[in-house]
Structure 1
Amino acid sequence: MLAELLDQIEAALCSYVVLPTDHAAAAVVLWIAATHAMPAWNTAPRLVIKAPEKRCGKSRLLDLIEAMSHRPILTANASPSAVYRCIGEDATDPPTLLIDESDTIFGPRAGDANEDLRGLLNAGHQLGRPALRWDAGSRRLDRIATFAMAALAGIGNMPDTIEDRAVIIAMRRRAPDETVLPYRARRDGPALTQLKTQLHAWVMGRLDQLERAAPVLPVEDRAADTWEPLVAIADAAGGHWPADARAAVLALTVDDVDASTVSLRVRLLIDVRTAFADADGLRSEVLVARLREDAEAPWDTLGKNGLNPKSLAALLRDFEIHSVQYRWDDGTQSKGFKRDQFDDAWRRYCPEPSSRRPAVPAVPPSHERENGTAQHPWDGSAVPTAPTRAWDGSAVPNNPSRPKSTLVGRRDGWDGKAQPTETATCISCRQPLSYDDGTHTHPTCTTSTKES
């Protein structure tokens, strides 16, 4: 049932906005679903929606996310104290923070004016990271909750500490041959609200299952923390979603270390590796000269006179890499560096892409059902991209492994109607049941038998 419901949500999104790839569409759908299961998660992944220019659909996508997320709070600007108050009103059921025009908050012109808000968003990524405030009036230490899902939309990059905790959707302007439906909240909102209601009911009935989930992921460390709730939702949905989720992880997680976004010291390690080429050792003067030859690198303009052997040694000192007096092939002696001095730092701070993927067991044990059969046959390898056949446009495809369209924005993706719910009644509490499996629309009753 959840797989078909997620299909409908994806079709609705892609009817109103052009998403860059099918992987991005799947990620947004799973992120929306994850907002409804906050009591089950240890991490609250951020969703960063960014674009190089205006009119790329960022705000429209945020409108659609608002329509289907759990307890959304949409703002174009917010003070840290207001955000603290929103989250702290009910820490057991936090809202979903949606921040539009976030480039005005974290952009170059803002400077360091919103560091408190950035710290709040960073802390709220993980459960159990409250903000501490001293109330002088009552002489009491207040612990303010920060744990909540958050989506940010804006032009350009977000702060690197936020993007490091985020699923990143890089939007782009719609091409002339890409068409979408106009979205009007009053007209189109009720159908999306019905999808939201069904999604919340399904998720709330399976919180225990989601809390116990430990999906095997093709990434590690913070990327795994960020993607775990989304993949757990996909595994619970079944059908094509487990494979789609892992394909999205691989596609949307940047494997290469981008020299333009890392710290100056890590950028130096990357450039030193390039400068060494096939050499086993280089004099300090030669290494500095090679670094300064790159016109796009910062080394020729670093400080007042550019990089020199002394500043090079200072930058490498924190990595425990030091210049040493060597006798070179021409018989002269001078200070320099050997390639093997950098091997450990290169492996830790800027590894080659092929070495960054973790080993994954052939059959992820967390995907096994109680009867011992696997929910899906993922073998731990990279998931192939989605087939390129066009979808027939039906509201809910019958084939659980339905192909996705190569054109993500499309008019025929959704018929505008949410799937109707079943009107059966529970024999115990007399409340309505939503689905064929007897799931309640509320989690308080333990009986799941339908009235005959």
Structure 2
Amino acid sequence: MSHPARPLRVVPAARAPGPTPADGAAVLDEIGAFVSRFNAFPDEHCVPTLALWYAHTHAAEHFYVTPRLILSSAEPGSGKTRVLEVAQYLVHAPEMTISASTAALFRMVNAAPITILFDEVDAIFNPKNGGNYEDLRAMLNAGYKRSATIARCVGDAKAMNVQRFKVYAPVALAGIAGHMPDTITTRAITIHMRRRAPNERVEPFKTRRIETEAEPLREKLAAWVASVADRLDDAEPDMPEGVTDRSAEIWEPLIALADAAGGHWPDTARAACAHFVANNDPHKGSLGIRLLADLREVFTQRQADRLSTAAILEALYANEEAPWGDLYGKPLDARRLAKELDRYGVKPTVYKAEGKPTRGYLATGETGLADAWKRYLPADPGSTA
């Protein structure tokens, strides 16, 4: 299904910051209060996260990574677009779009620092639509890190040159849940929006009024961020317990800004970080991660250190919330199970059970499951690992 291109919507960049930036905590509080007027969010951690993400767009060049922001929901009409509409008046150099071509985005990002606000991305990345958007996915993945470039051949056949495009840019993506590539979600903070309940009230979105009210807020935000920018280059903020590796990398810019703001923001940011990282369900990752997680549950529930392939498949089929009973039109079988686990260094083995040779999998050992659980899943104290 094709989607006609729509013109990009441009909001003028904030004027040059004034000489007397306001207190950081107060500015972020104002941003949070403004954002809260137009959306009903699922929990108290969403607004502080958005305020800090908007702030980081004004200092993206001072960070090694710029976390992607994903706004997802089960159904349309859940406020995702409204979040982007408000964001365009608060972030640095916004480019709000629905169907910009990858080539156009390449050139815009390469020309000057911008913040991409991409709506309806579920229509782009939905495999049912048959489109080939690997270039866009590659750009969004690579542009997560400041040093990234993407090489492309430009010019005609007689004068072909290789040009390296800078693709580093803050990106917010909104769409229906389930269609975002895993390579993007693992670089993102994801806020799962939901429809407002009948008793939840928000202010109507009036463009002219919002633009007028937001302009001084964006100027204050830009001025404050500029005043602390030099402190951000070498910032190495302490992370909440259990937040490491990619999760720590994602949250470092936001927590660094929270520490610079002071007041309640250092604690507020870390609470939000712990919340979103803890709610990153391993079952929502790749098929392989889902399989590892479900196998850990099976071994834990049975308090087993080894299980036959037949017992494993029976237990996986019994999980009605899992895809194993109908995986692309047929149930998971022993061959597919072995193929999926082989990628993680896990291999089937033959052991004796009730005096008979039995083919299955071990929890421990060089080719057992425990090492993969430890490396690819969040810690689970109840696991046999």
TM-score, scaled to structure 1 = 0.73
Q: Aligned equivalents of 2:79 and 2:39: distance in 1?
A: 6
* Matching of residues 284-363 of structure 1 within 5 Å: 284-302=309-327, 306-328=331-353, 330-340=354-364, 341-353=368-380
Tell me which residue corresponds to 2:161.
140
* Contact 1:231/1:245 (8 A) holds in 2: yes
Tell me which residue corresponds to 1:168.
190
Q: Aligned equivalents of 1:15 and 1:304: distance in 2?
A: 46
**Does residue 104 of the first structure (1) align with residue 120 of the second (2)?**
no
Q: Aligned equivalents of 1:179 and 1:295: distance in 2?
A: 37
SS of corresponding position for 1:335: strand
Amino acid at match of 1:211: D
CA spacing shift, 1:263–1:153, aligned 2, 3 Å:
closer
**Does residue 273 of the first structure (1) align with residue 292 of the second (2)?**
no
Q: Aligned equivalents of 1:162 and 1:303: distance in 2?
A: 23
Tell me which residue corresponds to 1:227.
251
Residue-by-residue CA offset, 1:382-421 (whole Å, 9 max, x unaligned):
xxxxxxxxxxxxxxxxxxxxxxxxxxxxxxxxxxxxxxxx
CA RMSD of aligned residues (A): 2.1
Amino acid at match of 2:292: L
SS of corresponding position for 1:56: coil
SS of corresponding position for 1:322: coil
The Cα of 1:293 is off from its aligned counterpart by 3.3
The Cα of 1:257 is off from its aligned counterpart by 4.1
The Cα of 1:3 is off from its aligned counterpart by 0.7
Q: Aligned equivalents of 2:259 and 2:252: distance in 1?
A: 10
**Does residue 282 of the first structure (1) align with residue 307 of the second (2)?**
yes
**Does residue 61 of the first structure (1) align with residue 83 of the second (2)?**
yes
SS of corresponding position for 1:48: strand
* Contact 1:131/1:143 (8 A) holds in 2: yes
The Cα of 1:186 is off from its aligned counterpart by 1.0
Residue-by-residue CA offset, 1:344-400 (whole Å, 9 max, x unaligned):
111112243569xxxxxxxxxxxxxxxxxxxxxxxxxxxxxxxxxxxxxxxxxxxxx
* Contact 1:275/1:290 (8 A) holds in 2: yes
SS of corresponding position for 1:299: coil
Tell me which residue corresponds to 1:394.
none
SS of corresponding position for 2:194: coil
The Cα of 1:209 is off from its aligned counterpart by 1.0
SS of corresponding position for 1:151: strand
Q: Aligned equivalents of 1:314 and 1:180: distance in 2?
A: 50
- Unaligned segments of structure 2, at least 5 residues: 1-22
Q: Aligned equivalents of 1:262 and 1:70: distance in 2?
A: 31
CA spacing shift, 1:10–1:295, aligned 2, 3 Å:
closer
Which sits farther off after the overlay, 295-304 or 107-116? 295-304
Amino acid at match of 2:295: V
Tell me which residue corresponds to 1:206.
228
Q: Aligned equivalents of 1:303 and 1:27: distance in 2?
A: 37
The Cα of 1:47 is off from its aligned counterpart by 1.0
- Select the residue among 237, 255, 262 that pairs with 2:285: 262
**Higher CA-based Rg:** 1
Amino acid at match of 1:74: M
Tell me which residue corresponds to 1:39.
61
The Cα of 1:150 is off from its aligned counterpart by 0.7
Which sits farther off after the overlay, 114-123 or 241-250? 114-123
- Select the residue among 76, 79, 104 that pairs with 2:98: 76
Which sits farther off after the overlay, 169-178 or 309-318? 309-318
**Does residue 246 of the first structure (1) align with residue 265 of the second (2)?**
no
Q: Aligned equivalents of 1:245 and 1:113: distance in 2?
A: 37
Tell me which residue corresponds to 2:132.
113
- Select the residue among 169, 176, 195 that pairs with 1:155: 176
The Cα of 1:174 is off from its aligned counterpart by 1.6
SS of corresponding position for 2:37: helix
SS of corresponding position for 1:300: coil
* Contact 1:34/1:229 (8 A) holds in 2: yes
* Contact 2:251/2:273 (8 A) holds in 1: yes
* Contact 2:282/2:377 (8 A) holds in 1: no
CA spacing shift, 1:156–1:306, aligned 2, 3 Å:
closer
* Matching of residues 388-407 of structure 1 within 5 Å: none
Q: Aligned equivalents of 1:155 and 1:337: distance in 2?
A: 37
The Cα of 1:282 is off from its aligned counterpart by 2.5
The Cα of 1:280 is off from its aligned counterpart by 2.9
**Does residue 28 of the first structure (1) align with residue 55 of the second (2)?**
no
* Contact 1:256/1:352 (8 A) holds in 2: no
Residue-by-residue CA offset, 1:218-275 (whole Å, 9 max, x unaligned):
211111111111111111100001100001101112456432x333333332232333
- Unaligned segments of structure 1, at least 5 residues: 356-452
Residue-by-residue CA offset, 1:36-72 (whole Å, 9 max, x unaligned):
1122111111111122222222112111100011110
CA spacing shift, 1:143–1:110, aligned 2, 3 Å:
same
* Contact 1:40/1:207 (8 A) holds in 2: yes
Q: Aligned equivalents of 2:120 and 2:326: distance in 1?
A: 33
Tell me which residue corresponds to 2:219.
197
The Cα of 1:304 is off from its aligned counterpart by 7.6
CA spacing shift, 1:295–1:5, aligned 2, 3 Å:
closer
Tell me which residue corresponds to 1:16.
38
The Cα of 1:335 is off from its aligned counterpart by 2.6
Report the structure, 1 or 2, having the larger helix content: 2
Question: What percentage of aligned pairs have identical amino acids?
Answer: 39
* Contact 2:351/2:360 (8 A) holds in 1: yes
Q: Aligned equivalents of 2:172 and 2:305: distance in 1?
A: 47
CA spacing shift, 1:215–1:287, aligned 2, 3 Å:
same
SS of corresponding position for 2:288: helix
Q: Aligned equivalents of 1:272 and 1:250: distance in 2?
A: 26
